[in-house]
């Protein structure tokens, strides 16, 4: 992994916030998330509240795993992130949750 191939890149120590937005009138929700630092293998469970989770971006390679509970009928949703409360960037935009990847790779400069 490198900055060139990561899903999101920011400075080491920046606050990254992931937000899940379900489809209108949907039942799906962000149920869990974790952060893994690739170099050490250290794993941290992240707190999820109101379809959001946040963490400090570690240096170099890491990945965030997300667990989204889909509704009784397959739904769509959007997963986005912000860096230090800045502009939101979509990782997954209004697409079928059954096809969404479960991990997103970050790189801390």
| pLDDT number for residue 1 | 64
Domain spans, the chain: 8-108
Taking CB atoms within 8 Å and a gap of at least 24, the contacts of 83-87 are 83/8, 83/10, 83/14, 83/15, 83/16, 84/10, 84/14, 84/15, 85/15, 85/17
Distance CA 73, CA 27 (A): 9
Q: Domain 8-108 has what CATH class?
A: mainly beta
| pLDDT number for residue 72 | 87
pLDDT averaged over consecutive 10-residue blocks of the chain (109 residues)?
88 97 94 95 96 97 96 93 97 93 94
């Amino acid at each position: 992994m490198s900055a060139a191939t990561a899903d999101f890149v920011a400075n080491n120590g920046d606050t990254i916030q992931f937000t899940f937005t379900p489809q209108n009138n949907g039942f799906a929700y962000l149920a869990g998330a974790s952060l893994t630092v690739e170099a050490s293998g250290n794993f941290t469970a992240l707190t999820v509240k109101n379809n959001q989770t946040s963490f400090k971006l570690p240096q170099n390679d890491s990945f965030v795993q997300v667990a989204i509970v889909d509704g009784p009928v397959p739904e769509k949703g959007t997963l986005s992130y912000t860096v230090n409360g800045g502009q939101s960037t979509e990782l997954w935009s209004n697409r079928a949750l059954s096809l969404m990847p479960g991990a997103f790779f970050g790189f801390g400069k």
